[in-house]
Amino acid sequence: MSSTAPPRGSPSPVGLAVSPEVEAALACGGAVVALESTIICHGMPYPKNLQTAMEVEAIVRENGAVPATIAILDGVPHVGLNSEQLERLAISGRQFQKTARRDIAQVVASGGNGATTVSATMFFAHKVGIPIFVTGGIGGVHRHGEKTMDISSDLTELGRTPVAVVSAGVKSILDIARTLEYLETQGVTVVAYRTNEFPAFFTEISGCKVQCRVDSSEECAKIIYANKNMHLASGILIAVPIPKQHAASGNVIESAIQQALKEADDKKIIGNAITPFILDRVKVLTGGSSLEANIALVKNNALTGAKIAVALSDLRKRASDGKMILNFC
């Protein structure tokens, strides 16, 4: 398979199954939004996961774009799933292997089933020419990462794959400041949507400022368009704060995270043991309320991502018609 995205309207890369809806939209330069499948299989229980997946796809469609949920089914990467395939993912849950870029070859070669993470979803989205991907949050540099070297592959994927990722930032369970530093090292443009501060997933603020602020989907589209035209070959992270109406519950969750972090420090829990410990403690401390806040921000990201995809599609069409000159700023 080629490492570059196919030109608009060309056949899908060998070994990939692209749904007719997605293929038709890409062929005519329409707006398409990639969606991951790990959140379905590993992020929430059945049937809530199926309901959420269908609602997220509906939000994308209602705002003028085509959803393309990505997963590996029986060794074949699929870009765009039908309702039966979505249901299969939701029911199977953790039976589907959590699949990052490093796992793709093994899952495909074994004829296995894979729920794609951020890095794998970006990889397949770029293969078929989808420029925008919506998720909940990305991974990052873990606390004490300078000692453990525990750094998510999401960050290196953003450094080498020109796909714009719409997320609610990263959870404060991670080292947000170091995550932003690592993204800078990777050459990734980090954009804060209608805010000057990088969001911390469950909360609107993190204490970390972002240099690039945008206030509209059209501004986001211009940055994505410029990134492609300048052949930067790196991704863009568009950080969208959790909706204000859910910020209160987010603050409760954030307080639980901070308490869990303190407990981990007091107990001297480090390395690979720290993340499971904190996640378990947060679940207990919040009574599981983090799920609803998670769903709310994913839906908000889908709304934002769809609008950006439509704006980008319109921008491309105007440019190809020779009716505009884009001023890079």
Q: What is the pLDDT of residue 11?
A: 57
Residue 165: its pLDDT value, please?
98
Euclidean distance between CA atoms 308 and 215, whole angstroms = 11
From 102, 130, 158, give the residue that closes a domain: 130
Spot the catalytic one: 36, 57, 157, 204. 36
Verify that 281 and 314 share a domain, yes or no.
yes
Q: What is the dihedral of CA 115, 116, 117, 123, to 10 degrees?
A: 170
Residue 2: the pLDDT is 41
Distance CA 233, CA 230 (A): 8
Closest CA to 175 of 274, 36, 282: 274
Q: Are residues 99 and 166 in the same domain?
A: no
Q: Assess if residue 325 is contained within a domain.
A: no
For residue 50, the model assigns a pLDDT of 98
Both 118 and 180 in one domain: the answer is no
The DSSP-derived string for 114-154 is EEE-HHHHHHHHHHHT--EEE-S----BBTTHHHH--B-HH
Question: Which pLDDT belongs to residue 271?
Answer: 64
Total structural domains within the chain:
2
Q: How many CB atoms lie within 10 A of CB 139?
A: 20
Q: Are residues 107 and 173 in the same domain?
A: no
If asked whether residues 122 and 156 sit together in one domain, one would say: no
Question: For each successive 10 residues of the chain (329 residues), what is the average pLDDT?
Answer: 47 84 97 97 93 98 98 98 98 96 97 97 98 96 82 96 97 91 97 96 91 97 97 98 83 87 86 72 80 90 98 94 53
DSSP string, 223-267: HHHHHHHTT----EEEE-PPPGGGHHHHHHHHHHHHHHHHHHHHT
Q: How far apart are CA 156 and CA 167, in angstroms?
A: 16
Q: State how far the Cα of 240 lies from the Cα of 284, in Å rounded to an integer.
A: 27
Q: Is 171 a catalytic residue?
A: yes
Q: Is the domain of 257 the same as that of 275?
A: yes
Residue 42 sits at φ, ψ, to 5 deg, of -120, -5
Q: Which of residues 79, 110, 130 is at a domain's end?
A: 130
> Are residues 280 and 193 located together in one domain of the fold?
yes
User: What does the pLDDT read at residue 190?
Assistant: 98
* 3-class secondary structure, 210: coil
| pLDDT attached to residue 196 | 95
C-alpha distances in Å from residue 77, one per residue of 7, 204, 226, 268:
20, 35, 29, 42
Q: Is 29 within the bounds of a domain?
A: yes
Tokens of 31: 């707006």
Q: What is the CATH number of the domain that holds 274?
A: 3.40.1790.10
Which structural domain range is residue 45 located in?
1-130
Instruction: Tell which of 113, 130, 147 closes a domain.
Output: 130
Does one domain contain both 125 and 140? no
* Cis amide leading into 47 (omega within 30): yes
Catalytic residue among 23, 127, 157, 171: 171
pTM here is 0.91
Q: Are 18 and 52 in contact (CB under 8 A)?
A: no
